[in-house]
Structure 1
Amino acid sequence: MQLDLSGAPSGGRTAWLAARLRAAIADGTLPVGSRLPASRVLAAELRVSRGLVTEAYQRLAESGQVSGRGRAGTVVVAAPAPTPAPVPVPPRGGLVDALRAVPCRIDLSPGVPDLTAFPRTAWLQAERRVLAGLTPADFGYGQPQGAPALRSAVAGWLARNRGIRADPDEVVIVAGVAQALGLLARVARERGVHRVAVEDPGSPGARQQLAYERMEVVPVPVDGAGLDVAALRASGAGAVLLTPAHQFPTGVVLDGERRRDLLGWATAGGLVIEDDYDAEHRYDRAPVPALRGLLPERVCYAGSVSKLLAPALRLGWLLVPPALRDSVTEAKRHADLGNPVLAQLVLARLMDSGELERHLRFVRRRHRRRRDAMLRALAERLPGARVHGAAAGLHLMVTFDGARFEDTALAAAALALGVKAHPLSWHRLAPGPPGLVLGYAAGPTGAIEEGIAVLGAALHDLEGPAAGKRPRRP
């Protein structure tokens, strides 16, 4: 393999070695079935510590390319998919969905948890217990509002984890937050609300969902204190969608003064839609109270297990004010007659048994390690970037203040090298500095470090080797 550590960057030898071994597997130099050198042998040849080699091997094992076989050594078991040909970044309009379908080596897209950590054993055990207790009648049509067992479990989950006191009758089970937005948009439109304010920057998927429901979307700026409530008042919108506990994508928290002002706006007749999309994932700060607990008669609260377990489950919940509950339930009935009952009952058992809390504690530790790996890599590879939102969530936002390149060009260059990331401009409606939105939860630390290294190389090609300030954590 002609390994020469003199070309490795200072402080990044482990990532360099892992990348070289990964490349050798990809091009067939190390074919599937071949055995890697013993760690002590390779360490002696390279004149490095054995721990460095062992860590590089571990990164390959985490990505599924090698496997330890005891006395048989470390064996190559799978080759990565070849780097795809350069693919242009999709245009606006369904852009996130289009990018999701593009193949890549390393995916740093935001919004995806560690899917390898899905609790398969616990899910199967819960499913068996649920099936064992079902009667033939239980396999009929369920209630459009959701299975009573899950509505009760969600009420308990929200009380324990988000400080929200809700009766199970207040809970509507939905197919994720996307469906919750669709149902609320239909009900609001029937009541004469046609303009809804959204955070800028914010979620392009949420904007598209509301626009699909024929709502006029009005951007409201976000700053270091959260949504600008004064701008919301001036917008003339009758409803607002926001992420107050961990604003997407900036990571800021709606501060106390803004919260009081927002609740005053709602009390005067505005409708608040609170998307609590990843509030369980926090690392360096205390839980942020949900708005729903402060003004339940004017706040619709939406959450799901997409960031906690897996988006594929399509299971979420919606709390609505009493005046809207019957209308939302009726809209849900006409949409799909209700979510599949079996999955609801399994999730209810996981919540009631404490298994879901145990899973949350496990993935929170893993996500923290991956966040820290991304922060270190950004400090080394993108020293001119400013880092936002590191205290919680599953992603970071980075901005390049004063830069003259387009972030879409940076994302396209990285994608051509096999690394997928979201340009910040996709999430903006008003102009702003270039940046990226980077997810760290879904991949192992080695892939994160390699992905950031690729982004650094792509930025170097776009901007040149000019140094900048090291990243800051706000």
Structure 2
Amino acid sequence: MRGSWATSDGDGSGDQGVDAEGVFGVDLHLEPAGPGLRRGLTDALREAVRGGRLAPGTRLPSSRSLAADLGIARNTVAESYADLVAEGWLTARQGSGTRVADRALPPVPDRPAPRGRTPGGPTYSLVPGTPDLASFPRAQWLRAARRALAAAPHDALGYGDPRGRVELRAALAAYLSRARGVRADPERVVICSGFAHGVKLLAEVLRARGSGDALAVESYGLDVHWNLVERAGLRTLPLPLDDHGTRTDAPPADAAAMLLTPAHQFPIGVALRPERRAAAVDWARRTGRLILEDDYDGEFRYDRQPIGALQDLAPDHVAYLGTASKSLAPGLRLGWLVLPPSLAAETARHLGGTTTGVLDQLTLAEFLVSGDYDRHVRAARLRYRRRRDELVAALAERAPDVEVTGIAAGLHAVLRLPPGTEQAVVRAAAWHGLAVHGLSRYRHPATPATTRAPDALVVGYATPPDHAWAGTLEALCRALP
């Protein structure tokens, strides 16, 4: 029945014209080689299926479309398809077209587990820095995406303003002013791909300005951020630390800026004291230097009035950095900078076309304007507060000698341990299938021994999904001394 199969054009659709056929199948890269076109095409198709480039179920182009793409006769393609149907590599059904046949896939070889992990990884995780990803508001986000795409002007899909879409910059300026006390207008907002991208941009700008060759950082923080800054050409120098948190009264003389988490220091969990906020602002004004404010989880506060952004005290000397990573999900890769006027245009020039995709920007703008963002944050705040309370209650019952600190806000807590036990507890947690970090993991390598914080765990209680929370809490309690 080869002849009748070939005349149906291999896609079960008959002769419906070029426009109809052009939408069937996939683009296909083939390089027929051999003594004849038919044999060469057959061999190339067979190898594409055997090698996995064409997965089972993939619909192939019609014989007419593939022939036009390859510049060969349509009958040659039809005959190659027929040969591979006969061999079992392809299937052809009226109305369904020509597809790659279902075949058993070769087993994937086992790979050794990464060093320091058991095969399959830990069962539970309290590693901080991630919200409960299972609680991402998928339905609301999808509705916002549909509304945003329907309303988007055609020019929104072009290259556009390097600072980001004006819809999102305007929505963020309004939200940050209302919710975080940030003095912002759309002209001073720059959209970036998360905090790491934003701090890298600012480090490059500071390096280009030549106002100093170092960035003063908190003595406990994330090494990934310090590494980004250093790759941009600035050294990182830790600020002094005492029982009240970071000291800001005497930054290093060669610091071009200070990077602070004033609302909820990561990871120690304290808020920057008012007199130290004032000292930082006074230093910036007196020297003409800059403060980089990382407001990574400012929406989440539980037992106190919200602490406003440091930027409100000195908007011409503070670069405010925010992100959707904790409030929504880090995979969105959405962040923002609110910059002094003199810095906004300069930073935009350093972007080099690396902003987040415009559709995600428009979706977040719609999410903010519609009120869905506020509703999601309020619901998440209640959920994380319940988890925090359950954590504190469980530790009071099961590990009463462990002091819990840094719990008035944010998505993590610090569990102070007996001296010399931190690493043993981290190992015990791993034995119970729990991933958790010790506080020492976040210490800047240049922090003096005299100012180091005590042994502790940093517990990201927002990280587990709801169904794993009880097991995670049990594993933690079993690991503690």
Measured against the shorter chain, the TM-score band is 0.7 to 0.9
Which of residues 320, 331, 335 in structure 2 aligns to 1:316? 335
Kept after mapping to 1: 8 A contact 2:317/2:340: yes
CA contact (8 A) 2:217 2:238 kept: yes
Q: 2:294 touches 2:320 (CA, 8 Å); kept in 1?
A: yes
**Alignment match, 1:10:** none
Alignment partner of 1:194 out of 213, 216, 219: 213
- Distance between the aligned counterparts of 1:247 and 1:337, measured in 2? 29
Deviation at 1:221, TM superposition (A): 2.8
Indicate the residue corresponding to 1:5 in structure 2: none
Q: Cα distance 1:368–1:188, how it changes in 2: closer, same or farther (>3 A)? A: same
String of CA shifts for 1:37-70, please: whole Å, max 9, x gaps.
xxxxxxxxxxxxxxxxxxxxxxxxxxxxxxxxxx
Q: Cα deviation per residue 1:153-207 (whole Å; 9 max; x = unaligned)?
A: 0001101111122110000001001111000000000111211111112222322
2:381 maps to amino acid: R
Equivalent residue for 1:433, pick from 426, 443, 454: 454
Determine if the alignment matches structure 1 residue 163 to structure 2 residue 181: yes
CA offsets 1:367-399 (integer angstroms, 9 cap, x no match)? 111111111222233322221111100000112
Assess, with a 3 A threshold, how the Cα gap between structure 1 residues 243 and 102 changes in structure 2: closer, same or farther: farther
Match of 1:62 in 2: none
1:143 and 1:337 in contact (8 A); partners too: no
| Identity level (%) | 43
Q: 2:426 aligns with which of 394, 411, 424?
A: 411
Q: Distance in 1 between matches of 2:372 and 2:291?
A: 32
Task: Report what 1:221 is aligned to.
Answer: 240
Question: Within 2, Cα distance between the matches of 1:86 and 1:326?
Answer: 46
Distance 1:325 1:413 in 2: 48
- CA change 1:340–1:414 in 2 (3 A) is same
Q: What is the distance in 1 between the residues matched to 2:113 and 2:164? A: 45
Distance 1:141 1:444, change over 3 A: closer
For residues 70-469 of structure 1, the aligned pairs below 5 Å read 89=116, 103-192=121-210, 193-232=212-251, 234=252, 236-269=254-287, 270-332=289-351, 334=352, 336-401=353-418, 403-405=419-421, 407-429=422-444, 430=447, 431-444=452-465, 447-460=468-481
Aligned counterparts of 2:392 and 2:121: Cα–Cα separation in 1: 25
- CA–CA distance in structure 1, aligned partners of residues 149 and 473 of structure 2: 45
Question: What's the CA shift string for 1:380-434, capped at 9, x where partnerless?
Answer: 3332222111110000011224x223x2342233123210101110111334421
**Cα distance between partner residues in 2 of 1:87 and 1:415:** 14
SS in 2 for 1:404: coil
Q: Secondary structure at the match of 1:164?
A: coil
Structure 2 CA distance for partners of 1:331 and 1:383, relative to 1, 3 Å: same
**In structure 2, distance between residues paired with 1:398 and 1:425:** 12
Which residue of 1 is the match for residue 37 of structure 2?
none
SS at match of 1:437: strand
Separation (CA, whole Å) in 1 of partners of 2:236 and 2:466: 38
Partner of 2:420, secondary structure, is: coil
Distance 1:394 1:203 in 2: 16
Preserved CA contact (<8 Å) 2:310 2:318? yes
1:301 deviation in Å? 0.4
- Cα distance change of structure 1 residues 222 and 450 upon mapping to structure 2, 3 Å threshold: farther
- C-alpha change, 1:304 and 1:352, in structure 2 (3 Å) is same
Aligned-partner SS, 1:267: helix
Which runs of at least 4 in structure 1 moved beyond 4 Å after TM superposition? 85-90
What amino acid is aligned across from residue 458 of structure 2 in structure 1?
Answer: V
Alignment partner, residue 54 of structure 2: none
Counterpart secondary structure, 2:204 = helix
SS at match of 2:387: helix
Asked whether the equivalents of residues 412 and 460 of structure 2 are also in contact (C-alpha less than 8 Å), the reply is yes
* Cα displacement (A) at 1:447: 3.8
Instruction: Give the Cα separation in 1 of the matches to 2:253 and 2:116.
Output: 32
Question: CA shift at 1:86, angstroms?
Answer: 9.5
User: Residues 72-95 of structure 1, C-alpha deviation per residue, up to 9 Å, x if partnerless?
Assistant: xxxxxxxxxxxxx997659xxxxx
Paired amino acid for 1:133: A
Aligned equivalents of 1:128, 1:456: Cα separation in 2: 45
One-letter amino acid of the structure 2 residue matched with residue 321 of structure 1:
P
Structure 1 window deviating more from structure 2 (166-175 vs 247-256): it is: 247-256
Contact 1:86/1:417, CA 8 A, preserved across alignment = no
Which SS does the other structure have where 2:239 is aligned? Answer: strand
**Superimposed CA distance per residue, residues 89-122 of structure 1 (whole angstroms, 9 cap, x where no aligned partner):** 59xxxxxxxx9x9721111011111212211111
Structural mapping, 1:20-59, within 5 Å = none
Shift of 1:224: 4.2
Change (3 A) 1:129 1:191: same
TM-score computed with the length of structure 2 as normaliser: 0.71
Contact persistence 1:86–1:416 (CA under 8 A):
no
Whether the 8 Å contact between 2:464 and 2:472 is mirrored in structure 1 is no
Determine the C-alpha separation between the residues in 1 that align with 2:115 and 2:470: 23
| Cα distance change on mapping 1:211 and 1:134 into 2, 3 Å | same
Structure-2 separation of matches of 1:455 and 1:137 = 52
Which 5+ residue runs of structure 2 have no aligned equivalent?
A: 1-111
AA aligned to 2:222 is S
Q: Tell me if the contact between 2:183 and 2:311 (Cα under 8 Å) persists in the aligned partners.
A: no
SS of 1:229 mapped into structure 2: coil
1:308 deviation in Å? 0.4
